[in-house]
Amino acid sequence: MLTERQKLKVLTGLGIELNRVKDLDILMERILTEARLFVNADAGSIYIREGGELHFSYTQNATLQKRLPAGAKLPFSIFSIPINHESLAGYCVMTGKSLNIADAYRLDASLPYRFAKQFDRASGYRSRSILSIPLKTMPDEVTGALQVINPRDESGKVIPFSKKDEKMMLHFASIAAVALQRARMTRDIILRMIRMAELRDPEETGSHVNRVAAYSVEIYERWAVKKGLPERDIESGRDTLRLAAMLHDVGKVAVSDLILKKPGRLTPEEFEMIKQHVIVGAGLFADRKSEFDEAAAEVALNHHERWDGTGYPGHPGARPQVPGKRGEEIPLFGRIVAIADVFDALSSRRSYKPPFTEGEVLETMRQASGKQFDPELLDTFLACMDSIRSIRMRYPDRDSESR
C-alpha cells in the first residue's frame, strides 16, 4: 500500500508518465493499473463518453485474473449504457460529481442510481466498495468515468474508500482525463488517415486496423514476456507497435482504386502496382524523428515479407528481381503484423471471398508456419486465441454492427 507521501509523489509525476503513452487502449490500461495501485483497489474500469452513451472501455480485476492460467488475460466486456442518473457511471458523467459507496448492495432505495449486479452474477465476483470519479478535461466537460472497486487493507480485507482517498482520486482523475483526451486526438488523427486509404481500398477500415493493431500487441506482449524482456521495454514496445500497426497499409492511398476494388484476380502488372504500397507507406515516415516513425516505416515496408524469403518488397537494390528478406532478416514488428493482418483478412468478408471459419483460418495459417510466418511467433499467436476472439468482438465491422 502506498503511503500519503508516496501518493503525492505519484501525483507529481503522473502527468509526465501518462503523456509518454501514445495509444489510447494502452493508456487506459496504464491508467487503471496506476489508479488501482494508488488506492490498493482490487478492480477497476473506465467508461468513455461517445455521444449520448458511455462505452465500457477497459476493466481490470485482480481476483478474477488469479483464476486464469499464467499469461492469460480477462476477456473484453463490450457494452454501452445511456448517460442518465440510473447507473453509477452515468450519474457521475451526468452530474460531474463523484460517488463514494461503502456497499453497492446496500444502496438506499431513495437514491436515483442503482448498482447493476449482472457482472457479479456472471463472474462470481462481489463488488462492495466503489469509488466512481468523473473524468473532466474542463469544469463543465466530462468525457467519461473512472471506477475503482474493493480497496483492501494490509491484511487483504475489503474496506470502504476514505474521504482522503476520494479527494486524492479526484486529482488523479483530472490528470488522467487530460492524457486520455490527448490519446483520443492521436487515435482520431490516425483514423482520419485510414479513412483516406479507405477511399481507395474499402477493406482498409477503422475496425480492420484496430483489430490488426490489437492482435499485434497481444502477440508481442506474450512473446516479450517469454523472452524475459524488461517490463518497461515491453510497455514502450506495445505502445509504439499499436500505433505503427494501425498504419500498416497507409501506402494504399497511392494505388488506384480500380485495382484495389477489382473483384477478380489481378494481372501480374496490377500485382506489381499493388506491391508499391509498402514502399509508399514507408516513405511517408522517411523523415524519422521518433521511435514511432521508425516502427511505422518498419511495419509498412515489411509486413508482406515471408519467412521463406518469397515475399516483397525484399532487399533494397537490384531490380526487377529483388530477393525477399528471409527469417530474422525481417524486422520483428513486420513479422508480427504479417500474422495479425493475414488472420484478420482471412476472417473477414472481402469483395472476392466470404469470411473463413475460425477453423479454416487457423488451419491455413498453421500450414504456412515456416513458409509465410515465423514459426515461433505463430505459435505465440495461437496460444492467445481467447484474447484474439475478444478483440474481434471489441472491433466489429460496420456491416456487422448494422445487422
Give the amino acid at 388. Answer: I
Give the amino acid at 315. Answer: H
Cα(394)–Cα(382) distance, integer angstroms: 19
Q: Which among 97, 252, 275, 289 is annotated as catalytic?
A: 252
Report the candidate in 34, 26, 48, 71 with the shortest Cα–Cα distance to residue 387. 71
Cα(256)–Cα(280) distance, integer angstroms: 13
Q: Which helix (H) or strand (E) holds 170?
A: helix 163-200
DSSP designation for 328? G
Contact call for residues 253 and 200 (beta carbons, < 8 A): yes
Angle among Cα 16, 178, 214 to the nearest 5 degrees reads: 85
Based on its alpha-carbon atoms, the radius of gyration of the chain, rounded to whole angstroms, reads: 23
Give the neighbor-by-neighbor strand order of the sheet with 141-151: 80-82, 53-61, 41-50, 141-151, 130-138, 99-101
Give the amino acid at 72. Answer: A
In Å, how far from its chain's centre is CA 261? 29
Q: Own/partner pairs for 187-195, CB < 8 Å, 24+ apart?
A: 187/23, 187/24, 190/243, 190/246, 190/247, 193/247, 193/250, 194/246, 194/247, 194/250
| 48 DSSP β-pair partners | 55, 144
Active site residue 252: yes
Q: Indicate the pairing of strand 53-61 with strand 80-82.
A: antiparallel
Cα(82)–Cα(4) distance, integer angstroms: 36
370: left (phi over 0), alpha (psi -120 to 50) or beta: left
| 43 DSSP β-pair partners | 61, 149
Phi, psi of 59 (to 5 degrees): -145, 150
Contacts of 188 (CB under 8 A, 6+ apart): none
What amino acid positions are annotated as catalytic residues?
252
